Amino acid sequence: MTLKDIAGELVAGCRENRAKENLPKLYAKDAVSVEAQDMDGSGRETTGVDAIRGKHEWWESNMEVTGGTISDPMLHGDDRFAVIFEMQGKEKATGKSFDMKEVAVYHVADGKIVREEFFYAT
């Protein structure tokens, strides 16, 4: 897959609620995911597609998304792209509402995402 193909499929999968199903197709087995801050004491970095799937499962179990937008991908050279995510939702456990905006930068090598980095207000 080309960078443009990968970026387009990542965005389509997020918009169509199939991001988790896209992981083996788009991500390298040893991909790294980096958050802006340590949210739960386990560190900012997660390594491996199975661990990244676990992050998706944690999010789905703990958060309810009630609205939002996902930008078209913005390509940068031949190995990176960025996407802006804006969403509204609530924490399932507390019912507390949230508004969230983050920029995600994806690094691609050999036809797979090898690193994702999330930027948001902390």
49-70 per-position pLDDT tens digit: 999 999 999 999 999 999 999 9
Check: CB of residue 93 under 8 Å from CB of residue 99.
no
CATH match of 3-120 with 3.40.50.300? no
In this predicted structure, what is the pLDDT of residue 32?
Answer: 98
Burial status of residue 95 (CB atoms within 10 A of its CB: 0-12, 13-18, 19 or more): exposed
15-31 per-position pLDDT tens digit: 999 999 999 999 999 99
Q: Which residues, including other chains, have CB under 8 Å from residue 25's CB and lie 6 or more apart?
A: 9
In this predicted structure, what is the pLDDT of residue 54?
Answer: 92
Domain extent listing, the chain: 3-120
For range 76-90, the mean pLDDT: 97
116, two tokens? 């994702």
For range 83-92, the mean pLDDT: 97
In this predicted structure, what is the pLDDT of residue 53?
Answer: 95
Mean pLDDT of the chain: 95
